[in-house]
Amino acid sequence: MAIITKITTQKQSDDRFNIFLDDGSGERFAFSVDQDVLIKFNLKKGKELDEFDIIEIQYGDELKKAYNKALDFLSYRMRSMKEVEDHLRKYEYNDAIIQETIGKLKDNRYVDDLEFAIAYVKTGWQTNGKGPTVLKRELEAKGVASLLIEQALEQYDQEAQVEEAINHANKLLKKNHNLSTVLLKAKLEQYLLRKGYSYSIISIALEEVQFEQNDNEEMEALMKQAEKAKRKYSHEEDYQYKQKMKQFLYRKGFSIELIEKYLNEGLNE
Q: What is the pLDDT of residues 189-243, one digit of tens each?
A: 999 999 999 999 999 998 887 666 666 667 777 777 777 777 777 777 777 777 7
- Percent of the chain past pLDDT 90, that is, above it, reads 65
Measured at the alpha carbon of residue 51, what is the angle toward residues 50 and 57, in degrees to the nearest 5? Answer: 90
What digits encode the pLDDT tens for the residues 17-61? 999 999 989 999 999 999 999 999 999 999 999 999 999 999 999
* 27 SS3 class: strand
* Least confident segment among 138-142, 246-250, 264-268: 264-268
pLDDT of residue 268 exceeding 60, the answer is no
Q: What is the arrangement of strands in the sheet containing 2-10, beginning at the earlier edge strand?
A: 27-34, 13-22, 2-10, 48-49
* Topology agreement, domain 113-153 and domain 158-208: yes
Class of domain 158-208 as given by CATH: mainly alpha
Strands (E), the chain: 2-10, 13-22, 27-34, 48-49
What digits encode the pLDDT tens for the residues 148-166? 999 999 999 999 999 999 9
Measured at the alpha carbon of residue 61, what is the angle toward residues 15 and 42, in degrees to the nearest 5? Answer: 75
pLDDT band at 245 (very low <50, low <70, confident <90, very high): confident
Q: What is the pTM of this model?
A: 0.75
Domain ranges of the chain: 1-49, 113-153, 158-208, 220-264
Distances (CA, A) of 148 to 115, 120, 152, 158, 184: 9, 12, 6, 19, 37
CATH fold of 113-153: Arc Repressor Mutant, subunit A (1.10.10)
Distances (CA, A) of 130 to 33, 134, 165, 167: 46, 6, 9, 11
* 48 SS3 class: strand
Which amino acid, one-letter code, is at 152?
A
CA–CA dist 30, 3 (Å, integer): 11
